Structure formats: C-alpha cells, structure tokens
Structure 1
Amino acid sequence: MYLPLVVGVDGSGPSLRAVDWAADEALLHGLPLLVLFASRWERYEGDALARELGKPSARVPADDILRAAAGRARRRHTDLVVTAETVPDEAEHALVCAGRNASMIVLGSRGRSGFADRLLGSVCRTVAAGSDCPVVVLRGDHDNRADGGRRDGLVVGIGEAPASVLRFAFTEARARHAPLTAVRAWRCPTPETVDSPLLTGEPARLYEQRAAEELEAALEDAPADVTVRRHTAEGPARSVLSGASAEADLLVIGRRTHARLGRVAHTVLHRSSCPVVVVPERPRER
C-alpha cells in the first residue's frame, strides 16, 4: 500500500496553488492525495476561497474549504484518488502527525506581509523541521506544476550526509525526465580567502579540488538513467544554494537534526526562488 501525499490547506491562495502542485506530484508517483485542513477555528477569514465559493470572506466554514480544495484536485486529475480530512488541532501538530504515515507533505507559502503570513511561516518551518517525511514548501515564481520543466531541472545540495537526500533527488529527477545538478559549496578557511592578494591561486584550487572530489564520491552510485551535472561553488552553502534556485524547478536539501532546521535550510526556505524540499536524514522509503 502506498503512503499518501499530504497537502495542507487553509483556504488561502498559496494553499490552493499547493493543491495543484501536490495533485501533479501525486499523479507523477502514482500516490493517493490527502487534503488536510487543520485548525482550532471553525471558520477561515480569507479572500481566495471566498471568491471561488461566492461567499463573504468571514463566512467560509472548514467544510467548504476542504470540499473546494479536494474538488480542485479531482478536477485537475480525474483519475487521482483524493481524500479529505479536517483535524481540530493546531496546523503544525496535525501536519507533523500526518507525516508519520505520508510519503510527502506539500505546503504553500504566502508572499505577503502581516500576522497571517507569520503564522503560516511558522507552520512551514515547524513542519519542515519535525516531519518524518520530506516536506515541500512552495517558494518563488513557480507555475503551480510539480513537473513544469520551465527552468533547468532539479538542484540538490550535497552536504555531509547526502545519501537520503540523493535518493530522493534521483527519484524526482527520474520521474520528471529532468536533469539533476548536484551542488557542493566550499570555502577557504579565514584568512585564506579567494580574494586575498597574498593567497592567490593555489590555496583556493586545493579547496575547490577537495570539494570536487567529495562531490564525485557522493555521486559514485548515481543511477545511469538520470542525467547528473556536477557543480562546485565558493561561498556559504546557504548563499550558493539560494543562488542556484533561480534556474531550478525544484531544490532538494537535507535535514540532519529532528525538530530543528539548520542555518542552511532555514535560509534557503526564506530565499529560494523555486519550491524547496526538505528531506530528513532517514526519510521513510516510498
């Protein structure tokens, strides 16, 4: 039995776009889709779903939110198995619990300021940090399609323990028939910086060569049916990966510590120009 793909909804525009992305992803992998609405509040005061339902923004009950989101997924892919569930709990706790029996969680990220934005940001960070399964946070100017292919394929960050992250990235690249760029950041220890006039050339080349060797070792077992590109870049990993996201359809990063995001993951989730997948060190196999 395949574990479902879970998408969290709250009636906002970003969460409805997440439904589209999640429906595509579920179809891509032959997974059932679970649309989850979690809130201690009976009604959601928002505009996006209210316009779709033709009701005042303060009069959209949970059942309507869930019904509209599930119907949206079914209309997008008529063959997709879609179920819906309302959980009377805080969104963070409900989604982390759902992740224990899910293949993936997909969340939308709002692009506007205000208290509601901070709440959703907290949900994304908490779920990405604590989930047992990979978590997708939709960032950037994506086109609502998991397999859009508008840019230059997938990017995966290669850190100290890349095995689980790479497994996930290979699976996604294969499903999309897209190239995968593996990125390894490197830095010269202070004061051995590339720009130092006293330390030009050789020190930088040594650190770059070491990074290239570590990248090659990590990719030793790369599958033959996935096109893999190698890229090393000088700079903090969080800046290198955020920059690489500008030309990517999907950015895959790892998470080693349970219930806490590292500095790299935290920064990338805020700065990425494309959807980001946070993969726990030992994600549940699909």
Structure 2
Amino acid sequence: MATRHIHSSRQSAVSSQTLPSSRLGVVVGIGTGVSTTATQWATHHAATHRIPLTLVTTGTTASQTIKTGWDSLPLVRAIAVDAPLEHTLIQLSAQAEIVALGNDCPSTHRTLSALVRRGHSNVASIPEAAADLRLPVIVLIDGLRSSEPAIRAAFDEASRRHASLIAVHTWSEPGHLGFPAISWSPIEWANNREQEREVLAERLAGFQELYPDVRVRRITTSDSNCKPLVTDARSAQLIVVGTGANAKLADISRVAAFRQLTTSEVPVLVAKR
C-alpha cells in the first residue's frame, strides 16, 4: 500500500479568490476527524476516474500522510479551513466532480441534505462499513428525462468498476397497500405494468449502446417494494439516484434522495449533472 504525502494549505474561509485554480476532482469532507471509509471510497473513485482527490478538514492541520494504495492518482490535495464544513463543501462543489461525505452522524446528515439542495456537483454518501465491490450497481429511475444524469452516472460507474447494473424503475401504486384500485380491472393493471416496463426500456436504450460491456438487469416495481432492495448492504456496492426536473418533482426527489443518503447501508451517489 502506497503512502502519499498531501499537498496542504490552510484557509480561514473559502471564496472564489482562494479556491485552487485547478479543478478539485473528488472532494471528501472529513470534519474534525478522519472518516476512514469515506476517504477510502473517495480515493478509489478518484483513481478509477483518473481525477484529483481533495481532502477538506476543519479546525485541524492538513499536514498529514494518506495511505491510498493507488499510485495513479494525478494529485492529492488537502485544504484546512476555519469555516463550517457545510458552507465550505457547498462552495468547493462548484469546482468538484463529486463531493463525498460519511453519513454516520446527524451533523453530516444536515451537510448531505444541504449539498443535495444547494451544491453544484454530484454528491456521495458513504456509510461506515465498506461496500462489497463484487456486487452490482443499482440505479433508481423515475421514468422522466430528468433521470438521465443518474442513468449516465450509473452506467459509467458500472463500466469503470467492471460491475453489472440493476436498473430499478419505481412507480406509484394506484391502490391502498399495493393492491390495485377497486376501479381497475386485471387487464388495466397488467397494461399499466407493461407501460412502465416500456418506459424503462426507452430510458435505457441509448446508454446500453454506449456501454456494451455493462450487463443490465431490469426491475419494475412499486415504491414500497423497492425500499428493501436499496437499503440492504447485501444488494449493491453503489446506489445511484437523481434529483428531479421541475421544482415540485425536485422537492419530492430530493426528499427521497435524502432518505437514501441517511438510511442506506450502501454508498449512495446523487447525480445532479
């Protein structure tokens, strides 16, 4: 395992004038301590994407070493700031590909929520336990064109990780407790399910051509049946979700994304672009 010495700097606050001139790649917030699993996930992500890794600390010195196990990282940088981590990460996200953060305490839950709502880059929430890299990537699709960033990110991640992809299209149940509404006939119910499957196929079509190396399994299911699949650590190595298109849908989708961020035992990537 290689040991990388980090180029470090200290800033009393972050502004457009004090941001590093180069893009920051993967930004990982480690607060006042070291979030080992989040840092390891961010390091792996930076290596597989061949982009820089930036560690952000608050109230501590940035002079340290990091055991990455990856000699191929183009740059490892650390920034120590005397400012709230939430505010700092939101500003740094303007020059980041993705911001990663551990989800192991309420304070980071608030920061993750703020990044989803006000950040500029993709966001990754990393649980304390390391993911099993032999498992597939899961992407949650709502059937709208606003799902495209999530689908694109999921295919890219699956390809880079040499993993299969499970595409899950969730749809709202028309009746109580998952049963068909009384006014629905069996034929109408079956037709609705078939229409949802066609929507999923349409959303995936172009991406499967771009990523022929990714094996895809399709699942069409109701919202309630989807929850166990995406919260169980044995189901995937990564879950990818989107944020929605218009204001109303974005609000709903961000709530769903926040729940995934804070309750999932699997790393969750919120694709915003």
Give the TM-score category using the shorter length: 0.7 to 0.9
SS, match of residue 7 in structure 1: strand
Pairing 1:78-227 to 2, within 5 Å after superposition: 78-80=71-73, 81-110=75-104, 117-139=105-127, 141-143=129-131, 148-151=132-135, 153-159=136-142, 160=144, 161-190=146-175, 193-194=178-179, 201-222=186-207, 223=210, 224-227=212-215
* Residue identity in the other structure for 1:134: N
Residues 125 and 262 of structure 2 are in contact (CA less than 8 Å); yes or no, is this contact kept in structure 1?
Answer: no
Specify the alignment match of 1:16 in structure 2. Answer: 36
Residues 26 and 51 of structure 2 are in contact (CA less than 8 Å); yes or no, is this contact kept in structure 1?
Answer: yes
SS, match of residue 120 in structure 1: helix
SS, match of residue 150 in structure 1: coil
How far the C-alpha of 1:24 sits from its partner, in A, is 0.9
What is the alpha-carbon distance in structure 1 between the residues aligned to residue 43 and residue 26 of structure 2?
9
Identity over aligned pairs, percent? 25
Per-residue displacement from partner, 1:199-225 (whole Å, max 9, x unpaired)?
574333222111101100101102222
Specify the alignment match of 2:69 in structure 1. Answer: 76
What is the alpha-carbon distance in structure 2 between the residues aligned to residue 202 and residue 188 of structure 1?
16
Specify the alignment match of 1:262 in structure 2. Answer: 254
Is 1:248 equivalent to 2:229 in the alignment? no
What is the alpha-carbon distance in structure 2 between the residues aligned to residue 275 and residue 218 of structure 1?
23
Quick one: structure 1 residues 233 and 169, their matched pair in 2 at CA, closer, same or farther if it must change by over 3 Å?
same
TM-score under structure 2 normalisation?
0.78
Q: Which runs of 5+ in 1 are unaligned?
A: 43-61, 111-116
What is the alpha-carbon distance in structure 2 between the residues aligned to residue 212 and residue 245 of structure 1?
26
Quick one: structure 1 residues 263 and 232, their matched pair in 2 at CA, closer, same or farther if it must change by over 3 Å?
same
Specify the alignment match of 1:52 in structure 2. Answer: none
Quick one: structure 1 residues 192 and 120, their matched pair in 2 at CA, closer, same or farther if it must change by over 3 Å?
closer
What is the alpha-carbon distance in structure 2 between the residues aligned to residue 247 and residue 12 of structure 1?
29
* Residue identity in the other structure for 2:254: G
How far the C-alpha of 1:231 sits from its partner, in A, is 0.7
CA RMSD of aligned residues (A): 2.8
Specify the alignment match of 1:48 in structure 2. Answer: none
TM-score under structure 1 normalisation?
0.75
How far the C-alpha of 1:274 sits from its partner, in A, is 0.3
Residue correspondences, number: 242
Specify the alignment match of 1:51 in structure 2. Answer: none
The structure 2 residue matched to 1:29, chosen from 32, 49, 61, is 49
Residues 3 and 101 of structure 1 are in contact (CA less than 8 Å); yes or no, is this contact kept in structure 2?
Answer: yes
The structure 1 residue matched to 2:63, chosen from 57, 60, 67, is 67
Specify the alignment match of 1:274 in structure 2. Answer: 266
Residues 183 and 241 of structure 1 are in contact (CA less than 8 Å); yes or no, is this contact kept in structure 2?
Answer: no
What is the alpha-carbon distance in structure 1 between the residues aligned to residue 173 and residue 102 of structure 2?
37
What is the alpha-carbon distance in structure 2 between the residues aligned to residue 87 and residue 171 of structure 1?
32
SS, match of residue 190 in structure 2: helix
Quick one: structure 1 residues 271 and 195, their matched pair in 2 at CA, closer, same or farther if it must change by over 3 Å?
farther
How far the C-alpha of 1:11 sits from its partner, in A, is 4.2
Q: Which runs of 5+ in 2 are unaligned?
A: 1-21
* Residue identity in the other structure for 1:4: G
What is the alpha-carbon distance in structure 2 between the residues aligned to residue 95 and residue 279 of structure 1?
16
SS, match of residue 242 in structure 2: strand
* Residue identity in the other structure for 2:230: S
How far the C-alpha of 1:238 sits from its partner, in A, is 6.7
Moved over 4 A (4+): 195-200, 243-246, 257-261
